[in-house]
Structure 1
Amino acid sequence: MNPAKRQSDIINRIRQKDFVTVNELSKTLNISKETIRRDLTELARKGLVQKVHGGASLPAVAGEGPFRERMGKNAAAKIKIAEAAAELISPGETILIDTGSTTLYFAEKLTLIPKLTVVTNSTQIAKTISSEPSYSKVFLLGGEFYGDNRQTIGSIAIEQLKSFRAHHAILTIGALDTRTGIMDYSIEEAQLARAMVDQAESLTILVDSSKFNKIASFEVCNLSRITNLVCDIPPSAELKTELMKAKINIIVANL
């Protein structure tokens, strides 16, 4: 196992449990304790974990409030969705990524793909991409900073986004149904998502099944704009029929 993949697995284990011991990581990942300790030292240097006696936990600066709770919720499914989505990306491509717990997992998988250009409004995603020697470029959109989600939003971010063209837009969503398509609960996040859709050749949605057949306040785009939908559980027969009519590639991540 290469170091980047190994360290990604370590971070995922910590997120699922908040704290893990060196012994537990060694047994679970079948890696020596010495290697685990070296990896934790490196991850702590990057600010991705906090070393404590006998193990590691999430760093306080990256783990406060509701966003930390979303990172830990349904983590196993989100990790598998991220892994499946990363297989759609090729070296050298340009990718637009919005803020979300699943897209942060996805960004960690992107560190294994070289020479990407990543454009995002998430400071956490920008930090993740830039912390690994994958020879990728990352552009962080400016604008009003929203502290809980560690993201920029608003007209400045959207105007800067118009300077880019991308192979892929990778988005998380608030809800999805057959009538409206993709929706979000925040008008600012919906506006930025629409701008990303407009600037990309393809659109991939990362969604867990809890978002299916739900309604949120603000429309992002209809089903016809979606290229790929990556989910943890297959959609219901009715929803699947409409997705297939829209010629959407449905990818169910293996849990």
Structure 2
Amino acid sequence: MSQTLRHPEILDIARAEGKVTVEGLAERFGVTVQTIRRDLAELAEAGRLERVHGGAVLPSGVSNIGYEDRRVLNHPAKSAIARACAREIPDSASVFLNIGTSTEAVARELLDHRDLLVITNNMNVANILVSNPDCQVIVAAGTLRRSDGGLVGNLTIDTINQFKFDFAVIGCSALDAEGDLLDFDVQEVHVSQTIIRQARRSFLVADHSKFQRSAPARIASLSEIDTFFTDRPLPRDLTGRCASWGTRLRIASEGRGSEDPATAPATGQRGEAARG
């Protein structure tokens, strides 16, 4: 395969998997690792990828990946994470689901739950849960973000402040080594911060690709999250921090969509002081 044909396919793989490796691409295309390194160097120079040890990832920056690209990115992992999260939400609960393709996956897993109250600032979540007749859906007011169906702004925050819900299920665009949740849109960040404050328990749903990205605006720390649902173990240092904060880790298996207790260390309840 020529370089001209390889480059678009390399980008497609990066969008689907979050990362590409030199050895994996060399085997896939039947070329040398030196050839792949040149391909990645050219894509990085063009701003399409960022080089990391052993491969490349989608570039960080001040804008997010397009919504349709995010929808297919790591889809099996998001589905497994969503199943694990939905299992910890009981019937007859009040739940907030915010903007993001991971929270939309959780909404699909709530279609068989009974007697739910769901508040959301995500039009896609509302449309998904229309199919559950045993779920009352409240859509927060706000300014519509056409790119992904999200509602943001002061009206959204005012609506959220009228509720105290049992569970908040939120996503993020990136997660750094210190355990900070990051995003690209400052208005969305302010909404997410309000959601966490108004929740009795906060769940984060984010797949492993978020470990390899960066974004400029800080939402919160994992210390403010009760349970983090993801698909791969965190780096050792961050796992230790979560244990000290009392943030539970739940690793979802793509095969079964269930928690892997071998990689989910048992921790105690998060202290109220961590919510500050």
TM over 0.5: yes
Question: After superposition, what is the alpha-carbon deviation per residue over 1:59-118, rounded to whole angstroms, capped at 9, x for unaligned?
Answer: xxxxxx932221111110010000000011001111111111111111011111111100
Question: Do the aligned partners of residues 73 and 200 (structure 1) sit closer, same or farther apart at CA in structure 2, a change above 3 Å counting?
Answer: same
C-alpha deviation, 1:214, in angstroms? 4.8
Q: Which residue of 2 aligns with 1:108?
A: 108
- Which amino acid in 1 is paired with 2:128? T
Q: Which moved more, 1:227-236 or 1:174-183?
A: 174-183
Query: Is the CA contact (8 Å cut-off) linking 1:177 and 1:239 kept in structure 2?
Result: no
SS of structure 2 residue aligned to 1:212? helix
User: In structure 2, what is the Cα distance between the partners aligned to 1:78 and 1:253?
Assistant: 9
**Deviation string, structure 1 residues 189-247 (Cα, Å, up to 9, x no partner):** 11110010010011110011122265421111122211000001111111111111111
- 1:164 maps to what in 2? 163
Percent identity, aligned pairs only, is 24
Give a deviation string over 1:101-157, Cα, whole Å, max 9, x none: 111111011111111100001111011112222x11100011111111111100001
**Structure 1 stretches of at least 4 aligned residues deviating more than 4 Å after TM superposition:** none
C-alpha distance in 2, partners of 1:78/1:180?
Answer: 20
Q: In structure 2, give the amino acid aligned to 1:163.
A: Q
Using the TM superposition, give the Cα deviation of residue 175 of structure 1 relative to its aligned residue in structure 2, in angstroms. 1.7
**1:199 maps to which residue?**
198
Match of 1:91 in 2: 91
Runs of 5+ consecutive residues of structure 2 not aligned to the other structure: 1-15, 17-64, 255-276
Structure 1 unaligned residues grouped into runs of 5+: 1-15, 17-64
SS at match of 2:163: coil
**AA in 2 matched with 1:144:** T
CA contact (8 A) 2:178 2:238 kept: no
Letter in 2 for 1:166: F
Q: Which has the larger radius of gyration?
A: 2
The aligned amino acid for 1:244 is A
- Residue 155 of structure 2 aligns to a residue whose secondary structure is helix
* Structure 2 residue 172 is the aligned partner of structure 1 residue 173: yes
Root mean square deviation, CA, Å: 1.7
AA matched with 1:189: E
**Which TM-score applies when normalising by structure 1?**
0.71
State the distance in 2 between where 1:212 and 1:239 align: 11
Aligned counterparts of 1:215 and 1:164: Cα–Cα separation in 2: 31
8 Å Cα contact 2:118-2:138 kept in structure 1? yes
* Equivalent residue number for residue 75 of structure 1: 75
Aligned match of 1:58:
none
Tell whether the 8 Å contact from 1:178 to 1:213 is kept in structure 2 after alignment.
no
Relative to structure 2, which stretch is displaced further, 169-178 or 205-214? Answer: 205-214
C-alpha separation in 1, matches of 2:178 and 2:208: 17
Contact 1:122 1:151 in 2 (8 A): yes
For residue 118 of structure 2, what is the amino acid of its counterpart?
V
Partners of 2:182 and 2:198 lie apart in 1 by 18
Q: Which residue of 1 aligns with 2:131?
A: 131
1:188 positional shift: 1.1
Measured in 2, the distance between the counterparts of 1:149 and 1:195 equals: 20
